[in-house]
Amino acid sequence: MAERRIGVAMDFSASSKKALRWAADNLVRKGDTLVLLHVRHHGREEAKNVLWSHTGSPLIPFEELMEPPVRQRYDMPEDPEVFDMLNALALQKELCVVVKMYWGDPREKVCDAVGELNLQSLVMGSRGLGQIQRILLGSVTNYVLSNASCPVTVVKSK
């Protein structure tokens, strides 16, 4: 069976952690590659990461990300809950876990990642904005659902 690449959009919010748990319990299987997609808004780190502003970072193996200097180089938030979950998942299901960092608009970057990384499926959380808030703020989830080139599973926060 061919290797599957499953993406999980991760902003370290409660809803994205729930999406990761859902993907672990319902979607990934032995031999898959789990790609954690993390998008940082342009800001203070823009100059430091200008090299990757269009393509995103290289794929970062999860084992490397466990090293504090590597996390600092990519400005990756330190979240023991997510790291423990990924570590257990990699061991239990024999997954290859990699992280891909992007800088910019999360809506566009997540959709770009789907195509660039040839993801077979994407899982993401939903913050549960009301209809008015979605209209005013725009919804990353709605945008990705409409524009991603692979199936997208949205895991509701409630």
Summarised one tens digit per residue, pLDDT across range 76-119 is 888 999 999 999 999 999 999 999 999 888 889 999 999 999 99
Q: What is the mean pLDDT of the chain?
A: 84
Do the Cβ atoms of 39 and 104 come closer than 8 Å? yes
For Cα atoms 12, 9, 143, give the angle at the middle one, nearest 5 degrees: 120
- Domain harbouring 65, CATH code: 3.40.50.620
Q: What's the structural domain count of the chain? A: 1
Domain that holds residue 92: 5-156
Q: Name the burial class of residue 73, with classes exposed (0-12), middle (13-18) and buried (19+) by CB atoms within 10 angstroms of its CB.
A: middle
Q: Is the pLDDT of residue 46 over 60?
A: no
Q: Average the pLDDT over 28-55 and give the result.
A: 75
On the CB side of 88, CA atoms within 13 Å amount to 10
CB 117 within 8 A of CB 149: no
